[in-house]
Amino acid sequence: MTRLLIEGGTLLGLSSPGDVQRGADLYAQDGRIRAVGGEARRLAREDPSAFVERFDARGKWVLPGFVQAHLHLCQTLLRNGPDDLELLPWLERHVWPGEAAHDAETMSVSARLGIAELLSAGVTSVLDMGSVRHSDALFQAAAAAGIRYVGGNVLMDDPETTPPTLRAAAEEGIAETERLHEKWHGKENGRLSVAVQPRFAVSCTDALLRRAGELARDLGLVVHTHASENEDECALVERRTGLGNLEYLDAVGLLGPRSCVAHVVHAGGSDFRLLARRRTSVAHCPSSNLKLASGICPVPELRRAGVHIALGSDGAACNDSLDLFREMRLAALLPRARRPAERIPAFDVLRMATREGASALALEEVGGLTAGARADLVILDPETAWSLPDDWSDEPYGAIVYSMGRENVAATVVDGIVRYRKEDPSVGGTKPAAEVVREAVRTLRARMEKAPAATASA
Ligand SMILES: [Zn+2]
């Protein structure tokens, strides 16, 4: 039973650019927004429960929490690895050996480090692609830290393209997703959900992809995968299947309204129309696409076709930050480098980072500031850091997208509970100490040195 009264903030509901209430209160009860405006204070005063937590938001901006629609918490410990590889060699040499080296303890450190960073940057929900094993550690970390988590194990079974150390036979991988579903789905007041996550077409047999689609449909789960990130990946899929990458994912039953596909850098008109027809969301990860030299997602074309666009940082191994402010800024700037230039308004970019992200994660009750919505919020302080002045425009959206960063996050609220305050850099004890992080990395490196080489390019 939680009660939270956020007092006197500027509420940015993001339903339309004019959805701004200044000097307004917001009252949340048991994880949901009960009321905003004058009604909020009255309800808080009349609430018969003993304790109402108050947050003074005067001078601050309150908006729906950020949603990371593509992430790998299992890779946080792989941050600051090789900087200059493209996707397939980077997977073979760094990411897959690193993931294979995890045990439950290092997985937990990796997840806690990532979740602490996310909460401190205003992220309230994540769609997280885990690894083949030790997925319980991800759910445990998310449960304890208080973030809204959709994710679980990754599926990869193809002996031609995946290393023996990081592979599970199709039935084994599917059984693991079913086990996680049984154990975690809907737990923590509905804050934890399981997704069905074939890594990408390259790493999975046809039988596994089809089985994954069936499982997601049977259980009503989100499908999360990578697609058309890199030209070599697309060529490999075409050689193996005779189909374009997205066309193939559709043929095996993986594209639908509860599917979120990361990247979609190398795609054309028929792909855009297919994604729109299937109402599949795309997680745009501009930093990752630039760092791995993959290319630039054709966001304007996808939007014109009617495809939902969400934003993601991808893993810390290829970004190397989990700060969604950076992705918002890049998502807004990259289309302007085209000739002729394309423009996506800051308001629309902010929607990608919030409401459209929630929709990509099939979180119907998340993303708004109206009564009944889940109380997942970020509270921004325009007076900290380097974002002043803030009075050239009546609309604050440009300031958030172009000028602010995670240093402006005053607090992050998930399910009506304050999970991060700027005054507490330990993020409620979630952030592991530096020596714990370094010790976990020493463990991973020692195991990686002993392991056989991986391959993704059969
Ligand atoms: Zn990824």
CA 73 to ligand 1 centroid distance, Å: 10
Task: Kindly report, residue by residue over 33-78, the tens digit of the pLDDT.
Answer: 999 998 998 988 888 776 899 999 999 999 999 999 999 999 999 9
Q: From 3.40.50.300, 1.10.10.10, 3.10.310.30, 3.20.20.140, which CATH number describes the 66-360 domain?
A: 3.20.20.140
Task: Kindly report, residue by residue over 160-172, the tens digit of the pLDDT.
Answer: 999 999 999 999 9
Task: Kindly report, residue by residue over 96-132, the tens digit of the pLDDT.
Answer: 999 999 999 999 999 999 999 999 999 999 999 999 9
Give the C-alpha separation, 407 to 387, whole Å: 10
Task: Kindly report, residue by residue over 426-448, the tens digit of the pLDDT.
Answer: 999 999 999 999 999 999 999 99
pLDDT at 369 over 80: yes
Burial class (CB in 10 A: 0-12, 13-18, 19+), 204: buried
Give the C-alpha separation, 11 to 43, whole Å: 18
CA 316 to ligand 1 centroid distance, Å: 10
Read off the pTM: 0.96
Task: Kindly report, residue by residue over 242-256, the tens digit of the pLDDT.
Answer: 999 999 999 999 999
Give the C-alpha separation, 272 to 276, whole Å: 6
pLDDT at 396: 94
pLDDT at 458 over 50: no
pLDDT at 393: 85
CA atoms lying within 13 Å on the CB side of residue 82:
14
Which residues, 6 or more positions from 160, have their beta carbon under 8 angstroms from its beta carbon? 458
What percent of the chain has pLDDT above 70? Answer: 98
Amino acid at 421: R
Which residues, 6 or more positions from 119, have their beta carbon under 8 angstroms from its beta carbon? 145, 146, 147, 412, 414, 419, 420, 427, 430
CA 101 to ligand 1 centroid distance, Å: 18
CA 262 to ligand 1 centroid distance, Å: 7
pLDDT at 392 over 90: no
Q: From 3.40.50.80, 2.30.40.10, 2.120.10.30, 2.60.450.10, which CATH number describes the 3-64+366-421 domain?
A: 2.30.40.10
Amino acid at 182: E
Average pLDDT over the chain reads 95
Domain ranges of the chain: 3-64+366-421, 66-360
CA 70 to ligand 1 centroid distance, Å: 6
CA angle 71-222-231, nearest 5°? 55
Q: What is the CA radius of gyration of the chain?
A: 21
CA 227 to ligand 1 centroid distance, Å: 10
What residues have their beta carbon closer than 5 A to ion ligand 1? Answer: 314
